[in-house]
Structure 1
Amino acid sequence: MTLSPVKGGRSAEARPSRMSNTQTNDDIRASRGLGDPLVFALSVGFILAFIALSLYDLDMVAGGIASGFAWTAKTLGTYFQLLLLLTFLVAMGLVFTPAASARVGNLERPELSTFKWLSIIMCTLLAGGGVFFAAGEPVYHFIVTPPAFDTEAGTTEAIAGALAQSFMHWGFLGWAVLGSLTAVVLARAHYDEGHPLQPRTLLMPVLGKRLVSGWLGSVIDALCVIAVVAGTVGPIGFLATQVSFGLHELLGLPGGYGTQLVVLAVLGAIYVTSAVTGIHRGIQILSCFNVFLALAIAAVIFIFGPTLFLVDAYTQGFGEYLSSFFTMATMTSQTAPAWWMQWWTVFFFSWFIGYGPLMAIFVARISRGRTIRQMILAVAVMAPIATTIWFTLMGGSGIHYQLTGAVELTEALKDFQFDVATLTVAQALPGGTLMALAVLVLTTIFVATTGDSMSYAISVVGSGHDEPSALIRAFWGIIMALMAAILLRMGAGQIGALQQFIVITAIPVSLVLLPSLWTGPQAARAMALEQGVIGDNRRPHPAR
């Protein structure tokens, strides 16, 4: 693709001394096997240690993580909530400044079409987690009233609050921390200054280049990789249990470990192939296919399902989301049951924080040629709104069927059996078994889009280059599938324990994200000045 200069600024090709030298060094690093040896050793070492300790004493590992999870949620939950809230507010403030017109990577035209770009963002960031919880979470909040509301559970008055609470967990705040301010910082550092797309780069404005270029930077990168591995292996493993359960219920196939292994093998083959072929081939093709499938399922639900109920529920739910936004966002264990905050708001917010740096790398990589304003609005506004619509179609339908008695999910959801909830709601949708199979396929591909993007992002972190070798991408994709297979053999509880671990890793990762609250706007201003989008009012006027 031809690089076009930005009006009033310099093109990427106009800086050969910085960019080409950096790329040469990165090429050398990328060719060294699996990249930074310390990042690789710490990341793989964690995987091996977790598996070895689990084999040695399952209860010890699960208990230790549970204790750390509970302590982190109780002690730092409010800090995590404020980090997400401030990130969203600062990002929205940045959108309305002239500096937001600066373009990522100094390209006049985007590398990806708008549809492909938005498809990759939606499929990567919503991914298996959102699809996995879309049917069950709204129903859960319908039958167990969230602490921000005082409506009677299971009544029509509880519908708006149930959807609003789900929107809070999967809406503006979670999406904003995944790729708004941090993506701006990385875009500036990488495309304009020649620094690698690595989490350590986010701390360069604070700690300095010399410090983060050494072992400390490798430790920072490794912690962020570990957080993503913990957060990604969970959906991969839970998908295997969900699909095997679904195939057993729908088609009568065996639902044991053998079927789960087959599901993992198919899933791994899909996302490893996608990751190896790259952003411009496999990743975008898989994402676009998934979006078309999701749109088809959404159209069937909307047209043939409880249409008027869904329209009314969305209108009321989104209105409640906006009016109770700060109440829900700032609720703590002092004003809500500790167990509820721990397993809902804090868990989800910590999960998003753990993904934050690597998601930001991915967003910066696919957004070249977009303005800062476009990138932030796509990630922090458009995608969350699309997510709320999807949650209403799936979860709102579940609420309707629960309210009318068509399904009964109270006991399943109180035991957090979201795989049962998803399949039960899917079977009650128009099309019955066919729709349920389509939802299983959609969920599988959504998890695959997480697997391919995170395999790619982890490889970028290790190699320090935004075009890591196919070997590195395949390695990380395979290792996560193998880890899921081993942990499933021990029991689904170990998958859950690993997923809880991301709450603990959110502690150091949050410190990596924190400086973007002020370095994000600074990076945007620097980009805008260099591209001539804004003038420097601080420069002295010439003498008259």
Structure 2
Amino acid sequence: MSEQRNNQDRIGFNAGLGDPWVLGISGGFIVLFIALSFYDIDMVSGAVGTGFAWTARVLGSYFQLLLLLTFFIAVAVSISPAASARVGGLDKPEMGTFKWLSIIMCTLLAGGGVFFAAGEPVYHFVVTPPAFDTEAGTAEAVAGALAQSFMHWGFLAWAILGTLTAIVLAQAHYVHGKPLQPRTLLFPVFGERVMRGAFGGVVDAVCVIAVVAGTVGPIGFLATQVSFGLEELFGFAGGYGTQLLILVVLGAIYVTSAITGIHRGIQILSRFNVFLAIGIGAVIFVFGPTLFLVNSYLQGMGAYVTNFFTMATMTSETAPDWWMQWWTIFFFAWFLGYGPLMALFVARISRGRTVRQMLLAVGIMAPVATTIWFTLLGGSGIYYQLTGQIDLVEALNNFRFDVATLTVAQALPLGTVMALAILLLTTIFVATTGDSMSYTISMVASGHDEPNTAVRAFWGIAMVVMAAILLYMGAGQISALQQFIVITAIPVSLVLLPSLWTGPKACYAMAREQGIVR
């Protein structure tokens, strides 16, 4: 197997692009989406919007059920004796614990968590979520607002990204020598048939398209957010030229990080971002509304646990269609779309960890850290909204989350300094998504876990260029592309579905091979 990988490493850029089905379908989608957008923007936006609404209405409950089952089965596996099995058969982890957790945290939270952390809790505070009946904008509405945000970015979201699927990939890759590609998730079901030819290529391509759609969105929105921030803080022109410059800088950061690899650039960038987030969080906690934040977190977590199933199983029968489409189903489908490639990344960086450590880090520790971050930033926004120091009702009703983030940041202690720090944090967080997804897409394209550096650069640059072109057409096309991930969640969910039973089987197979269970 190692000889085969060495041979692959020596093949150059063209062969490194890998399966022609993957390159042809995913690259063709990018070109077609841009070309059709140039031809008729309204037609593309309308078609995506129609597909988005249909998917959310018809398949929303299926997505919710898949996330619920994944989480609870992963919890059951984590407390089983078989969870002591080690990924990759190593006696000690390949990567230090803090570095490992930093990469895991930055990879998902960057996908949009930082962008939504300030605005979403405040939105649910001024517009009461369907699962609650409190009066909007009152002290009684705080717990429900945070609980709804925790539902979208908590246990269910993280579980689909790297628990059962990561186990399947780890066992198939490190034990059976199968490549770290989405098609490998279907290997326990279809065998060698899915590993070669058009079938496997289409599976990989669909998963790559979902991740491209989900990653280009935050990249494009970051450009608009930082541009808006520089205009508000320093009076810089906030036009397309500024946005393009921001994209160039962002691309240079994450492409360099992806090229230098997991143990250098990706790791360094993730650690820096975690330290910066801890510093910002400490300032907010110490100098901000400390008692309010502590009380709000306890109440919000209590409401989250108490109303967990009510929020997780809310449907259009009990909530407005528009609310389900743009909140719960949108986020759940977004995470589903990221699921296969995130699982590849988790399996790649977790060698030497026990299955239990991997499940607890991804499925429990990371969601708890996420809820704390949402409380620090979003909870502060709620406090300032409640006390009348800011007013975000109009901005959030128009889904202007860039305005919400900057407004909350400026209201924090050290106003302008904190606003700049949060803009930097958001930029680096999105860069950590860009580098990890560029690296992972390259793994999918090349079929091995040390992809050619030119391939990593190719995919990283491709996403920046796509974001730049769509921003030139208008931010609406970025939104249309991000809505498309809800549609791609349909085939991607079918790739994830077998892990509900193949995940536990893979865990027990590893445990038997390592002599942990009979």
Cross-structure match for 1:540: none
Mapping of residues 43-58 of structure 1, within 5 Å: 43-58=26-41
Q: Which of 238, 245, 257 is equivalent to 2:228?
A: 245
Aligned to 1:273: 256
Corresponding residue for residue 356 of structure 1: 339
Post-superposition shift, 1:33? 3.9
Mapped to 2, the partners of 1:38 and 1:521 lie a distance apart of: 31
Which residue is equivalent to 2:510?
Answer: 527
Among 279, 287, 290, the alignment partner of 1:296 is 279
Q: How does 1:131-146 map to 2 (within 5 A)?
A: 131-146=114-129
1:26 positional shift: 4.7
Contact 2:16–2:451 under 8 Å retained in 1: no
2:397 is equivalent to residue 414 of structure 1: yes
Shift of 1:207: 1.4
CA contact (8 A) 1:29 1:464 kept: no
Distance 1:443 1:154, change over 3 A: same
Contact 2:334 2:485 in 1 (8 A): yes
Give the TM-score normalised by structure 1. Answer: 0.94
Q: Distance in 2 between matches of 1:516 and 1:468?
A: 26
The residue correspondences of 1:316-395 to structure 2 (distance < 5 A) are: 316-395=299-378
CA distance in 2, matches of 1:521, 1:363: 17
Indicate conservation of the 8 Å contact 2:183/2:194, yes or no.
Answer: no
Residues in 1 aligned to 2:111 and 2:349: alpha-carbon distance in whole angstroms: 20
Q: In structure 2, what is the Cα distance between the partners aligned to 1:347 and 1:54?
A: 22
Indicate if the aligned counterparts of 1:30 and 1:463 stay in contact, CA closer than 8 A. no
Tell me the SS of whatever aligns to 1:534. coil
CA drift of 1:211 comes to 3.5
Q: In the alignment, which residue of structure 2 is the partner of 1:106?
A: 89
Pick from 242, 247, 250: which aligns with 1:259?
242
Q: Does 1:444 align with 2:443?
A: no
Aligned equivalent of 1:401, options 373, 380, 384? 384
Corresponding position of 1:126: 109
Indicate the residue corresponding to 1:202 in structure 2. 185
Q: Secondary structure at the match of 1:157?
A: helix
**Aligned-partner Cα distance in 2 for 1:147–1:348:** 16
Select 2:75's aligned residue among 92, 104, 123.
92
Alpha-carbon distance, 1:396 to partner: 0.2
> Structure 1 residues 166 and 422 mapped into 2: Cα distance closer, same or farther (>3 Å)?
same
Please list, as runs of the form range in 1=range in 2, the aligned pairs for 1:467-486 lying within 5 A after superposition: 467-486=450-469
Aligned-pair CA distance for 1:464: 0.3
Mapped partners of 1:457, 1:239: distance in 2: 21
- The residue type paired with residue 135 of structure 2 is E
Query: In the alignment, which residue of structure 2 is the partner of 1:152?
Result: 135
Q: TM-score, normalised by structure 2?
A: 0.99
> What per-residue deviation string (whole Å, max 9, x for no partner) do you get for residues 455-503 of structure 1?
0000000000000010000000000000000000000000000000000
Query: Is the radius of gyration larger for structure 1 or structure 2?
Result: 1
2:5 to 6, 18, 23: 23
1:210 CA drift (Å): 2.2
Cα distance in structure 2, aligned partners of 1:21 and 1:194:
12
Shift of 1:209: 1.3
SS at match of 2:124: helix
Q: Over residues 145-191 of structure 1, what are the superposed CA-to-partner deviations in whole Å (9 max), with x where a residue is unaligned?
A: 00000000000000000000000000000000000000000000000
Distance in 1 between the 2:287 and 2:191 partners? 58
Structure 1 CA distance, aligned partners of 2:4 and 2:317? Answer: 50
Is the 2:81–2:516 Cα contact (8 Å) retained in structure 1? yes
Amino acid at match of 1:150: D
| Offset of residue 208 of structure 1 | 1.6
> CA separation in 2, counterparts of 1:287 and 1:234?
20
Out of 186, 189, 210, the position equivalent to 1:227 is 210
Match of 2:408 among 422, 425, 429: 425
Change in CA separation of 1:467 and 1:258 when aligned onto 2, cut-off 3 Å? same
| CA offset digits 1:60-119 (Å, max 9, x no partner) | 000000000000000000000000000000000000100000000001111110000000
Q: Distance in 1 between matches of 2:44 and 2:293?
A: 43
Out of 515, 538, 541, the residue aligned to residue 498 of structure 2 is: 515
Kept in 2: contact 1:354–1:502 (CA 8 A): yes
Superposition deviation, residue 22 in structure 1? 4.9
Q: Does 1:166 align with 2:146?
A: no
What's the Cα RMSD here?
1.0
Alpha-carbon distance, 1:309 to partner: 0.2
Distance (whole Å) between structure 2 residues aligned to residue 81 and residue 22 of structure 1: 40
CA distance in 1, matches of 2:172, 2:6: 17
Contact residue 240 and residue 263 of structure 1 kept, 8 A: yes
* 5+ residue gaps, structure 1: 1-18, 536-544
Counterparts of 2:10 and 2:21 in 1: how far apart (Å)?
Answer: 16
Partner Cα distance (2:71, 2:10) in 1: 38
The answer to whether the 8 A contact 1:30-1:464 is kept is no
Q: Secondary structure at the match of 1:208?
A: helix
Give 1:27 deviation, angstroms.
Answer: 4.1
Which amino acid letter does the alignment assign opposite residue 5 of structure 2?
Q
**Does structure 2 conserve the Cα–Cα contact (< 8 Å) formed by 1:182 and 1:516?**
yes
Percent identity between the two aligned chains: 76
1:62 paired to 2:42: no
